Amino acid sequence: MTLATEHWVLTLACEDRPGIVHAISGAIVAANGNITESHQYTSLDTGRFFMRLQIESAISRDAFEEAIKPIAAKYSMQWTLDTVGRKMKTLVLVSKAAHCINDMLFRQRSGQLPIEIETVFGNHAELAPLAEFYGLAFETHTIKSEGDKRAFEQMLRTYIKSAGIELIVLARFMQVLSPEFCDEFAGKIINIHHSFLPGFKGANPYAQAHARGVKLIGATAHFVTSDLDEGPIIEQNVVRVEHSASKNRLVSIGQDVESKTLTQAVLWFAEHRILLDGERTVIFS
Amino acid sequence: MTLATEHWVLTLACEDRPGIVHAISGAIVAANGNITESHQYTSLDTGRFFMRLQIESAISRDAFEEAIKPIAAKYSMQWTLDTVGRKMKTLVLVSKAAHCINDMLFRQRSGQLPIEIETVFGNHAELAPLAEFYGLAFETHTIKSEGDKRAFEQMLRTYIKSAGIELIVLARFMQVLSPEFCDEFAGKIINIHHSFLPGFKGANPYAQAHARGVKLIGATAHFVTSDLDEGPIIEQNVVRVEHSASKNRLVSIGQDVESKTLTQAVLWFAEHRILLDGERTVIFS
Amino acid sequence: MTLATEHWVLTLACEDRPGIVHAISGAIVAANGNITESHQYTSLDTGRFFMRLQIESAISRDAFEEAIKPIAAKYSMQWTLDTVGRKMKTLVLVSKAAHCINDMLFRQRSGQLPIEIETVFGNHAELAPLAEFYGLAFETHTIKSEGDKRAFEQMLRTYIKSAGIELIVLARFMQVLSPEFCDEFAGKIINIHHSFLPGFKGANPYAQAHARGVKLIGATAHFVTSDLDEGPIIEQNVVRVEHSASKNRLVSIGQDVESKTLTQAVLWFAEHRILLDGERTVIFS
Amino acid sequence: MTLATEHWVLTLACEDRPGIVHAISGAIVAANGNITESHQYTSLDTGRFFMRLQIESAISRDAFEEAIKPIAAKYSMQWTLDTVGRKMKTLVLVSKAAHCINDMLFRQRSGQLPIEIETVFGNHAELAPLAEFYGLAFETHTIKSEGDKRAFEQMLRTYIKSAGIELIVLARFMQVLSPEFCDEFAGKIINIHHSFLPGFKGANPYAQAHARGVKLIGATAHFVTSDLDEGPIIEQNVVRVEHSASKNRLVSIGQDVESKTLTQAVLWFAEHRILLDGERTVIFS
C-alpha cells in the first residue's frame, strides 16, 4: 500500500552547529521527500539556529517523527511537525470594535486564513450578529470586576483545553488579561496594539499620537506577555496622516492598518512561520 | 513703467474668524493677482486658522505689504511674504556621517532644493572634501568641553547674524546644542533623529530598535527645542526590516530614510510650507 | 426664526480667471459662512480652475444657490452644492468575488462611507447572503447573451431613474457594459481594474503580471468610458510580490489592494472630492 | 598550515530533483563549513530549482570547487562560487543625468555597494567632475551616428575584456545599445527605465504618465535584452503623485525612485542574489 503524498511543514530551533542542514536533509532524502520551501536563520544575538521547511513526501507522520527524533535529540532541538494548510484551532476574544474580526472572518471563509474558530467570546454583545453570519457561536461574558475576570479566564482555560485551542487572538479585546494567564499561554496569544510600538504604549494611543503630532500612525501585532505592550513584536505597519486628521479620524484611519497587521500575524502563526529568538521574532515569510 | 510679474508666497496664521479668506482675496484682486496655489486649515485643537497662498502679480513688495498690513492688523495675524523660489540662507552643521548632507547638496545643485549654503560647519573634518566638491567653505570646530561648545555657539550666533541665516540644519550633527541656543533660534533649527519618534529617543536608536525587534525602522525630522527629541515633528518615514538585519545593517538601511526625511523637511521649510500649531506642525505640501 | 447651522460642500470648475476666489468668498461672507476646508487647483494643461469648499452656514439651500448663481454665470462655472455627509445613492454591480463589496459594506455600516445602497445586482447569486447580512436586497440577473445584457441595462436605467441613483460601482463585475450605457452615465460609473493601469489591460491581468515577472502588482479605480480600461484614473495602489508568488497567490494578494482602492475612490466620489480635468482627475483629498 | 576562514557565496540552478540539498550540504559538511545564509526556490513554471548559500569555511577555492563539481555534474547545474563582499568589476554608462550615478558612487564609497568602477563612460561630458570627485576616470564618447555607436560598442568590448568587467550598468544612458551587443552580454547589463513597466515603454515615460493621469509613478531596473524595455525585471518601486504635479515635476519626483531602484538592483547583482528563471528573475534578498 502506498501512502498519498503529504505536504509537511517542519520547524526547528537549536544552538547553531555545523551539520544540522545535512542531518535534516538526510532524513528528508530517506523519506523520499522533496523540499518545496526552505528558510533558515542564525541569530548573531543568541547563537541560535532556526529553520522552517516544507516537504512533500508520502511518509507517515509516525515514520517522519521517528526519523527526526534522533537528530533533534543530538542537537537539542525544539521542533514541530504539521501538515501544510491544516486549520489551526483558534480562540478569538473581542469587545465592540468589528474591523479586526471582520477581516479575519472574511479571509477565513474565502480560504486565505487556515484557522478554525468555533466560538467567539466577547465582553460585549455587539459582535454576535457578525459571528453568527459566519456560522460561529458567540458568547458574551461581561467583565466588571476582578472576580469577573478570574471567572472569565477560568472558563477560557476549560474551553482551551476541551476545544484543543492552539492560538488565542485578541482582536481589539479591551481587557488586560492577568499575568498568570499570559504566562500560562505564553507564545500562543497574539494581540493587536493600535500604535507603532514602542511609541504610545498604554491607553488611547491615537490621542497620544494626535497630541504628539506624528506624521505616520501604526499598528503592532505582538505576542502577549505579562509585561503589558512589551511582548515580542510579530508585525507592524504604518499609514500616513495629515495635520488635519482629528483624533477620531486617526481612529478610523488606523482600523485598516490594525486589521491588516493582525490578520498577517495570525496567518504567519497558523502557517508556523513565527519562531521566537529571545524577545525577538523570526518571521519566515 | 510696468513691473514684471512676480510669483509671491504668503503665509498667515491667526485666530479663526469668518471673513479672512474674503479679506485676503480682496487684497489679491486689488493687486491684479492670480492665486496659483492655496492651502488653508483650521485647527480644532487651538482654534487657529492657517493659510498659504502663491500669487502671481506685478505688484511691488512694498505695495503688497501695504495691502496686507491692515488685514493682518484686523485679524492679529502672523504673516510672511516672500518670492517663490528664493533661495533660503541655510547653515548646515555636520559630524562624520555624509549621507544627509550629500543628499541635500546634490539636490541643491540640481535645482530641487531652494537653499543657499555658504559654509558647512563640522565638529570633525571628514566631510570637508564633500563640501568643497560642491563649492562650499568648510570649517572644523572641535568640541571637547562645555567651553568649546559655548565658544562654538557664540561663533555661530555671530555667523548667523552676519550671513543672514534663516534656517539651521543639523544633518546628523552629533552634539546637543545648549537650551539657550535652541530657544534663541526656536522654529529655525531642523534636526534629523534616526528613529521613528517618539519611539527610541536618545542615543543609539538603531541599537534600541534592534533589541526591541521592531519590524519597521524610521527617521523623524523635527524642530529642535530645549526639550531633547521632543520638538514639533515635521516629517517621518519608515522602512521595513527583517529579523536578520543586524544593528549595523539597521544603521545602513536607515541612512536612506534619514536623508530623504531631512531633505523633505528642509524643502518644505524653504518653501514656507511648515506652520506651527502649538506643538504640532501644519504642512501645506 | 434661525436656521440651524448646516455644513455645505461646494465644488466648481471653470476657465481660470482672476477674482474667482474673491467672488465666491464674498458670497460666503454674505451668508455668514465659515470655510472649514478649501482646495483649489489650476490645470496648466487645460487652463481650468477647480475648487472645493466646505462651509458652515445657517443659510438655506435656496438662498445659498441664489447667491452662487450669478457668480457661476459670470464665470461659466460647472458647480455642485451638497450637504457634508449626505449619503449618496449608490448602485453596486457584482459577480462572484466578495472582497470589494464586503469592504464597502463593512465601511458603510461602520459609518466610514457615506453611501446608501438599496439593492445589489449580480450576474451570479453567490453574494446574496452577504448583501442580506447587511440588510440589502439582492437581485440576480444572469447574462448569457447580448440580449440579456441589453435587457439588464434597460432594467438598470429604469432602476437608476426611479431610485435616484447618483453613483454606479462595479465591484468586480465581470461583464463589459455597452458603450451606450457607459456614455449615458459617463462620470458616474466607477470600476476597479485589477492591475496597475496602463499595464495589463484586458483579461487576466494577474496572469499577465506573473508572466512578465513584475515585482509590484496593483489595482486601479477609474471612471468607466466606452473605451475599455481607458477612463480617467481615480486611485491606484500597489503591493510588493516575490518571485515565489504563483498566479493564484497574486490573485489573493491583489484582493486587498483592490478593495482598498475601490473603497477609497467611492469615498472620494461620495464626498465630492473628484473633479474631471479632461482625461485626468483632480482629487481634493 | 591552517587556512583562514573564508565567507563563500554559492549559487546554483538546475532541474528540480530530490536530494540536491542533501548532496550540497554534504559537500559543505565535508568542508567543515557552516551555512550562514540560505535561500532556495523551485519554479512551478519551469520546474527549475534555484539555490543561494553563504558558507563559512577554511577550505581553499580549488578544494571547494572540486567538492562541488561532481554534484554539479550529476544534477546538470549552472553554478557560481565567489567570496562574500568581493567587489564586482563594473562598467557604468551615463549621459547627462547625475542622480543615478551619484547614488551609486556615494554608496560605493561608503561601503554599502560592493562594486569596483575604474572608468565611467559618457556620451556627454557633464558628469566628468562627479566621477573625478570619486576618484574615477571619465571618458566622453560622443555618439551622433550609427558608425559612432558601432565604434563605441567596439571600444567597450575591448575594455570589458581587458578590465575583466562583470557587470554593465546603464545609469540613465540615453542611447539604445545594438541588439548584437545586448545579446553578447545578456544577463550582465542592467538598465533603469523611468516608468513602472510594462506601462509606458519607450520614450518620455513621464510625459506619458502625466497624460494618462496615473496616481503613482515608478521605475524599473531590468536586464537589457535586444527587445527594448522587455528584459527580465529585477526591481520596481513607485511613488505617489498628485494631480497638481506637472510633467517636469514628475521627472524630479521620479529621480529618487530611479536611483533607489537601480542601486538596489546593482547591489543584488553584486551579491549574486539574482538568478534567471526564463523571462523572470528570482531574487534571493
Three-state SS for A141-152 is CCCCCHHHHHHH
In a 10 Å sphere around its CB, with 0-12 CB exposed, 13-18 middle and 19+ buried, how is residue A46 labelled? Answer: middle
A106 at C interface, C-beta within 8 A:
yes
- Please pick, among D103, D229, D256, D277, the residue that the annotation labels catalytic: D229
For D86, the grid coordinates are 568581493
Of D241, D55, D228, C146, the residue nearest A19 (C-alpha): D55
Q: Which of C17, C50, C83 is the last residue of a domain?
A: C83
Percent of chain D with pLDDT over 90: 93
Which of C33, C57, C83 is where one domain is finished? Answer: C83
Cell of C135: 440588510
Q: How far apart are the first and last CA of chain B?
A: 36
Residue of A nearest to C36 (CA): A244
Closest by Cβ to A110, choosing from C37, C98, C129: C98
> Do residues B103 and B74 share a domain?
no
Catalytic residue at D82?
Answer: no
What is the pLDDT, as a whole number, of residue B151?
97
Cβ contact, residue pair D38, A36, below 8 Å = no
Q: Which long-range contacts (CB under 8 A, 24 or more apart) does D127-136 make?
A: D127/D94, D127/D96, D127/D98, D127/D101, D129/B133, D130/D98, D130/D101, D130/D102, D130/D105, D131/D101, D131/D105, D133/B129, D133/B133, D134/D105, D134/D108, D134/D109, D136/D105
End-to-end CA distance of chain C: 36
Shared domain for B216 and B259, answered yes or no, is: yes
Look at residue A261 and give its three-state secondary structure. helix
The pairing of beta strand A78-83 with beta strand A6-15: antiparallel
* Cell numbers at D248, concatenated: 517636469
Residue C2 has a pLDDT of: 58
Query: Which domain range does residue A34 map to?
Result: 6-83
Number of domains in chain B: 2
Q: Which of A55, A67, A120 is nearest to A272 (CA)?
A: A55
Is C101 within the bounds of a domain? yes
Checking DSSP bridges between strand D233-240 and strand A137-140, what pairing results, if any?
Answer: unpaired
Residues D76, D108, single domain; the answer is no
pLDDT for B4: 82
The mean pLDDT of D136-161, rounded to a whole number, is: 97
CB contact at 8 A, D191 and D221: yes
| Cell numbers for D98 | 547625475
Whether the bond into B198 is cis, omega within 30 of 0: yes
**Inter-chain contacts counted by CB atoms under 8 A, chains B and D:** 22
> Cis peptide leading into D198, omega within 30 of 0?
yes
Contacts (Cβ under 8 Å, ≥6 apart) of C215: C240, C241, D233, D234, D235, D236, D283
Q: What is the pLDDT of residues B186-213, one digit of tens each?
A: 999 999 999 998 888 888 899 999 999 9
Question: Residue A236 has what pLDDT?
Answer: 97
Q: Which residue, A113, A87, A158, A144, is CA-closest to A260?
A: A113
**Residue A203's pLDDT is what?**
84
% of chain A with per-residue pLDDT over 70: 99
pLDDT digits (tens, 9 = 90+) for B15-30: 999 899 999 999 999 9
Higher pLDDT, residue B1 or D246? D246
The residue type found at B34 is N
**Extended beta strands in C31-143, E state:** 34-42, 48-57, 78-83, 88-94, 115-122, 137-140
Q: Residues A108, A184: one domain?
A: yes
Nearest by Cα to C24 from C78, C81, C67: C67
Per-residue confidence (pLDDT) for residue D3, from 0 to 100: 66
Q: Show the CA angle centred on residue B101, arms to residues B100 and B105, nearest 5°.
A: 125
- CB-based contact, C56 to chain B, within 8 Å: no
Q: What is the CATH number of the domain that holds C180?
A: 3.40.50.170
- Inside any domain, residue A117: yes
Out of D18, D29, D32, name the one closest to residue A34 (CB): D18
**What letter represents residue A222's amino acid?**
H
pLDDT band at A4 (very low <50, low <70, confident <90, very high): confident
* Strand order across the D6-15 sheet: A78-83, A6-15, A48-57, A34-42, D34-42, D48-57, D6-15, D78-83
Where are the strands (E) in chain B, listed by range? Answer: 6-15, 34-42, 48-57, 78-83, 88-94, 115-122, 137-140, 167-170, 189-193, 216-223, 233-240, 274-277, 280-283
Is residue C228 in a domain? yes
- The answer on pLDDT for D102 being more than 90 is yes
- Asked if B199 is an interface residue toward chain A (Cβ–Cβ < 8 A), one would say yes
Nearest residue to B210 (alpha-carbon basis) of B239, B237, B244: B244
CA–CA dist C138, C120 (Å, integer): 5
**Mean pLDDT across chain B, nearest whole number?**
95
| Complex confidence, ipTM | 0.93
Q: Is D279 on the interface with C (CB under 8 A)?
A: yes
Give the N- to C-terminal CA distance of chain D in Å, as an integer: 36
Q: What is the mean pLDDT of residues A245-273?
A: 95
Residue C60, domain member (yes or no): yes
Going by pLDDT thresholds of 50, 70 and 90, the confidence category of residue B98 is very high
Give yes or no for C38 touching B (CB within 8 A): yes
Q: What is the CA radius of gyration of chain A?
A: 21
Q: What is the pLDDT of residue B138?
A: 98
* Domain match, B71 and B120 both: no
Among C134-138, D152-156, D196-200, where is mean pLDDT lowest? D196-200
How many helices (H) and strands (E) are present in chain C, helices listed first?
8, 13
Note whether residue D1 is domain-resident.
no
- The per-residue pLDDT string of chain C (285 residues; one tens digit each, 9 = 90 and over) reads 456 899 999 999 999 998 999 999 999 999 999 999 999 999 999 999 999 999 999 999 999 999 999 999 999 999 999 999 999 999 999 999 999 999 999 999 999 999 999 999 999 999 999 999 999 999 999 999 999 999 999 999 999 999 999 999 999 999 999 999 999 999 999 999 999 988 888 888 999 999 999 999 999 999 999 988 889 999 999 999 999 999 999 999 999 999 999 999 999 999 999 999 999 999 999
pLDDT the model gives residue A186: 96
Q: What is the mean pLDDT of residues B41-59?
A: 95
Q: Do A16 and D29 touch (CB under 8 A)?
A: no
pLDDT at B2 over 70: no
Please indicate, yes or no, whether residues B172 and B104 belong to a single structural domain of this protein.
yes
Any residues with CB less than 8 A from the CB of B93 and at least 6 apart, and which? B120, B121, B122, B123, B168, B169, B170, B171, B173, B175
Interface residue of A36, A39, A100, A102 to substitute, partner C, most C CBs within 10 Å: A102
* CB contact set of D150 (below 8 Å; sequence gap of 6+): D178
* Per-residue pLDDT tens over the stretch A27-40: 999 999 999 999 99
Tell me if A1 is assigned to some domain.
no
Are residues D197 and D274 located together in one domain of the fold? yes
CA gap D53, D33 in Å, rounded: 11
Nearest to D236 among C197, C211, C216 (CB): C216
C-alpha cell at D107: 554608496
- Between helix C20-30 and helix B20-30 the angle, nearest 10°, is 150
Option in D98, D112, D129 nearest B110 (CB): D98
Looking at residue D192, its pLDDT comes to 97
Q: What is the pLDDT of residue C137?
A: 97
Asked if C18 lies within 8 A of B25 by C-beta distance, the reply is no
Does B99 lie in the same domain as B203?
A: yes
Whose cell is 475648487? That residue is C51
Report the pLDDT value the prediction gives residue C6, as an integer from 0 to 100. 94
Picking from C58, C83, C108, the residue at the C-terminal end of a domain is: C83
The string of pLDDT tens digits covering residues B104-113 is 999 999 999 9
In a domain, C78, yes or no: yes
Q: How confident is the model at residue A202 (pLDDT cuts 50, 70, 90)?
A: confident
**pLDDT given for residue C3 in this prediction:** 66
Residues C271 and C227 in one domain: yes
Q: Among B16, B45, B103, B229, which one carries the catalytic annotation?
A: B229
Residue C126 sits in the same domain as residue C47 = no
Cα–Cα dist B77/B69, whole Å: 9
Cis peptide leading into C70, omega within 30 of 0?
Answer: no
* Neighboring chain D residues of C212 at a CB cutoff of 8 Å: 197-198, 233, 279
For A225-242, what is each residue's pLDDT tens digit? 998 888 999 999 999 999
The answer to whether D192 and D170 have CB atoms below 8 angstroms apart is yes
The rounded distance, in Å, linking the Cα atoms of A233 and D74 is: 44
Secondary structure class of C204 (helix, strand, coil): coil
Pull the grid cell for residue D3: 587556512
The verdict on a CB contact (< 8 Å) between C19 and B29 is yes
User: Is pLDDT at A2 greater than 80 in this prediction?
Assistant: no
A49 and A176: one domain? no
- Say which CATH number the domain at B66 has: 3.30.70.260
Q: Per-residue pLDDT averaged across A264-273, rounded?
A: 98
- Which candidate, C90, C127, C99, C96, places its Cα nearest to that of C266? C90
Chain D contact for A232, CB < 8 A? no
Q: What are the start-end ranges of the H helices in A185-246? A: 205-212
Q: Pairing relation of β-strands C137-140 and C233-240?
A: unpaired
B1 domain-assigned: no
pLDDT band at D2 (very low <50, low <70, confident <90, very high): low
pLDDT over 70, % of chain B: 99
Nearest to A261 by CA among D254, A269, D128: A269
Nearest CA to D7 out of D109, D86, D115 is that of: D86
Residues C203 and C249 reside in one and the same domain: yes
